[in-house]
Structure 1
Amino acid sequence: MKIMAVDYGDARTGLAVCDRTEFLASPVGQIEEKSMAKVAEKIIYASREFEVGMIVIGLPRNMDGTEGARAEKTRKLGKLVELGASVPIRFWDERRSTVTAAAQLTEAGTFGKKRKQKLDAVSAAVILESFLAWRKNHPEEN
């Protein structure tokens, strides 16, 4: 099944999608929008365009596992997306996804403006890779 991951941010929201075999997660772009309602609309639109069967939204947790104000805001976005999407929504722990994405971009030699344009989408791909690895190892829970 094709799955889309979302890395929600105040100004930019990254998107990534995997192939139908759930093997390869690829960044597919960023939504440059501050309005939560408009971000939700664009996520719903993208989910239809990419014909995904599930949306995974990165849930920002504190390093001790607790949820703060950012997680609450992300859950609100999830509810908006759920209202308009015809596919299941899952939240997935996104701790350290941006750090991992930044390291990948550094390794690839991507800096400056190009880095800023790609960071959130690559972060979404990191979230999706983590979810896919879990899903592969827990088939009974899918």
Structure 2
Amino acid sequence: MIQRQKRLDGVLDLWEGEYTYRCILTNDYVSSVREIVEFYNLRGGKERIFDDMNNGFGWDRLPKSFMAENTVFLLLTALIRNFYKAIIQRLDVKRFGLNTTSRIKALVFRFVSVPAKWIRTSRQYVLNIYTCNNAYADVFQTDFG
């Protein structure tokens, strides 16, 4: 499929002239042109997932030299990403200083890496969280000690 579109700004390009050309090569002879273009445009969302996996979960450098071990690593990190996305959707992320688009590194530094200690007081164990952010008290349903 080849598309030629006249440039709206009217600026002439040295190589393309007054038109912008786009091309999609496919071996799908059954689908319509519109379906092919819509399927091709979905590619951007998948590339965003791979960008997140490469930069946040270590897919850019695999840890082992053997395919079976790397497969286990890839599958486990994909599961961890799914858990991470589920946690982000269920938490009120603004209270922790995060966004819904925050990467896992930000979650680890803002949510996971918080100093805490189990202390025994009044014959029961209480989680003592050492932070000034009161959002943790709601998540762990505890008072700050």
Tell me the TM-score range normalised by the shorter chain. Answer: under 0.3
TM-score normalised by L of structure 1: 0.24
Q: Which has the higher contact order (CA 8 A, sep 6+)?
A: 1
TM-score normalised by L of structure 2: 0.24
Higher Rg: 2
Higher normalized strand content (fraction of residues) = 1
